[in-house]
Amino acid sequence: MTIPTFITGLLPTYEQIGFMAPVILGAMRVLQSFPAGGELPGAFCYLYESAPLKNRRHMTSWAAMGYQIGVLISTIECFALEHFLSYESLVQWGWRLSFLVGGLCGILGLLLRKRLHETPVYKEMVSHERVVKEPLFEVIWKHRKGIGIGFLYCALNSSTFYLISTNFPTYFGKLIDGAANYNLMITAGILLIATIPLPFFGALADRWNNQKMLLFSVIGILILLYPLCLAIQYGMIGLTILFTILFVLLFTCTSALVPYIITDLFPANVRFTCVGLSFNIVDAIIGGFTPFVALFLLEATGNSFSFIWIIIFSALLSLSSYLFMKERHPIH
């Protein structure tokens, strides 16, 4: 992931090598994305297996925080580039800075990773000679139910994250007549609200009941959608800010618990594979198509709030799985 990121920042332009420039760019993007798909699920599994049972929810919530801090930093970075560079400079060379810095950060990540120990769960499997390689399709077939449930667990989280980081800032920008780069700072503010409380909700789940917290959050999101849209539609800035903060906090509660509940679905010998499949399939199908579907609904209906149907649909998917949630290691 580090190498193609850094190479992207050094790519020659279309004027220099013609059509090969976009071809190489596409190839680097593919090479970057495949390993990226294992990073977050790997963090879920590592923290889950390294933490004591009594605070696994709290520890796994830090994986979500790490991911969202990365998105937050990149948003601030984009704002800084647009603010301090002219459009011509940004197009000519400024865009390369993010990829070059990202490549250097990747090297730092590799050095840090070399110092990590294996998890206690994995060490125990090795000591008992229970590390056995199984064919991928056999694993998928054997654990298809768990992978399907994991898909449902992540549905709301995947779609809503894309929408609160794109649609909501746009509406705020229109309310206050802000410029496009100002929307980036609104996005940063929303992401900040969605990031800081993550460990708190994880710690709360260790002491309360995470199923009830998830049900409360999803139902709260469904209830808030209508008044939030009304507040935006009628230009009520105060209510819009209040409802948005509440909405984002409810979303944050689900984001904090998803790493634990999806990891808890699978036994250790297939955990990384199955968590990676569940998380990345839902991210590709629901998360990846959310912007496309939102635009399609907007063009088909002419209603700027038609995107809420995506949230409603994904919320109902997740709600159906939370109602029947069973934990392998309940602490209540």
pLDDT of 332 reads 44
Cβ-proximal residues to 265 (8 Å cutoff; 6+ apart), any chain = 146, 149, 150, 153, 274, 275, 278, 328
Sign of CA dihedral 196, 197, 203, 205: negative
pLDDT of 92 reads 87
The structural domains of the chain, ordered by start, are: 2-323 (1.20.1250.20)
Quick one: average pLDDT of 43-56? 91
State the number of CA atoms in the 13 A half-sphere of 156 facing the CB: 29
Q: In this structure, are residues 64 and 259 in contact, taking their beta carbons and an 8 Å threshold? A: yes
Per-residue pLDDT of 88-133, as tens digits, reads 898 888 999 999 998 888 888 888 888 888 888 888 877 776 777 7
Q: Name the pLDDT band for 330 (thresholds 50, 70, 90).
A: low
Cα radius of gyration rounded to whole Å, the chain:
21
Tokens at residue 127, please? 């000591």
pLDDT surpassing 50 at residue 174: yes
Q: Cα dist. 322→209, 256, 258 in Å?
A: 12, 15, 11
Q: What are phi and psi of 143, to 5 degrees?
A: -115, 30
User: Which residue in this structure is represented by tokens 């590592």?
Assistant: 46
Taking the C-alpha atoms of residue 4 and residue 17, their distance in angstroms, rounded to an integer, is 18
pLDDT of 162 reads 77
Average pLDDT, the chain: 86
Tokens at residue 155, please? 């549905």
Could you tell me how far CA 248 lies from the centroid of its own chain? 14
Taking the C-alpha atoms of residue 121 and residue 229, their distance in angstroms, rounded to an integer, is 47
**DSSP 8-state assignment for residue 328:** S
Q: In this structure, are residues 60 and 51 in contact, taking their beta carbons and an 8 Å threshold? A: yes
pLDDT of 261 reads 94
DSSP 3-state assignment of 185?
helix
pLDDT surpassing 60 at residue 178: no
